[in-house]
Amino acid sequence: MTALDIVIMAAGKGTRMKSARPKVLHRLAGRSLLQHVLTTAAALAESPRIIVITGHGAEQVEAAVRAPGLRFVRQQPQLGTGHAVQQAVPELHDAGITLILNGDVPLIEVDTIRGLIAACAGERLALLTVDLADPTGYGRIVRRGDGIVGIVEEKDATPEQRRLREIYTGVMAAPTAPLKRWLAALRNDNKQGEYYLTDIVAMAVADGIGVTSAKAASEIEVLGVNSPLQLAELERRLQRRRADVLMEAGVRLADPARIDIRGELVCGSDVDIDVGCIFEGQVELGDGVQVGAYSLIADARIAPGSVVEPYTRRRGA
C-alpha cells in the first residue's frame, strides 16, 4: 500500500475570534474544531500517520488532543501556509502521498477525502475545490481550459480573478517526493512576505506533473471558522443537518432549529423531542420516549415509553 501521511495545520492565532483560546480549540457541537478533523483523519486508515502543526498556543493545543502515535511539529513564527508544511517535512515518508488538512475546517467527510486521495493516486497534485456563490476570502482556482494552472490568494488577485467562483478549500493531496522538492523552493516575494503553499501548483505545472481536482459534495464540508459569527453559523447548519436526519428517521421535533446534539443521539421509533433540548455524549432514547422542553440529557439511556419532564437535567444511567 502507498504510504499516507496526514498533515493538519493548526498553528494560527485566530485573531478574529478575539479570544485567548487557540482558534482550533473552540468547540463545535461539543468537540473542538481540531478534534473533528482528527476524528476524520483517523478514519482514513487503520493506523494513520498524523502530524499536527501547532504554533499559537502550541502547548495548550497539544495537551488538548494528545493521543498515542500523534505527532506534533511547531511553526514559530507563523510565516504562511507553505512555511507551516515545511516544518512537517522531516516527519514525512520519502515516498507515498501527503494529505494536507486544516484544523479549522471541521466537517469534511471521509468519502470526500478518499476521493481526493484517489485523484492524486501518488502521481498528481490533487486539490479539493468547491464553487461558492460568494467566494470572498478564498484563493481562486485558475484554469487554462480544463487544466488547473494556479491558485491566486484573494489579496493578490486581480479584479477579474476575484470574480472566479471556484475556490481552493485548503485541502490537497500530493505525491510526497515532489512535494518536498516544491516546499524547499518556495519564496516569499509577495505582498504579505509569506510562503504560500498554493505556489506549488505552478511548480507542479512547470515539472509536467498533472494538477487535478476533486469537488466537495457540499459547501458545509469546506467551511472554515475564523470568527465567532462563522462558528455560530456553522453550529446551526450542522445542528439542522442532524435534525433533518432524525426527522427523516421518524423522530418528531417540535422545532428543528432548537435542538443541540453534542455527541451521538440514537432514537427508537415514535420519539418526540420538544424545543431547546441538549444531548451530550452518548444518548439513546428508546421507543416512544417523550422529552420535555429545555431538558439536558448526557451519557444516558432513556427506557422505552419514558416521559422526560421539561427542564430535566440528567447525566448518566
Residue 222 near residue 105 (C-beta atoms within 8 A): yes
Q: Which grid cell is 245? A: 436526519
Q: How far apart are CA 90 and CA 196, in angstroms?
A: 19
Beta bridge partners of 173: 99, 126
| Contact in structure between 216 and 130 (CB atoms under 8 Å) | yes
Cβ atoms 13, 78 nearer than 8 A? yes
The distance of Cα 65 from the centroid of its chain, to the nearest Å, equals 15
* Active-site hit among 16, 181, 241, 252: 16
CA dist 33 and 26 (Å) reads: 6
Q: Is the dihedral of CA 84, 66, 226, 22 positive or negative?
A: negative
The x, y and z cell numbers of residue 177, run together, are 517526493
**Cα angle vertex 98, ends 116, 199, to 5°?**
85
- Residue whose C-alpha is closest to residue 84's, from 64, 66, 103, 68: 103
User: According to the 3-state scheme, what is the secondary structure of 62-85?
Assistant: HHHHCCCCCEEEECCCCCCHHHHH
For residue 16, indicate whether it is catalytic. yes
d(CA 60, CA 18): 17
Q: Name the helix (H) or strand (E) containing 193.
A: none
User: Helix H segments across the chain?
Assistant: 33-42, 58-65, 81-86, 110-120, 159-162, 176-184, 200-206, 228-248
Active site residues: 16
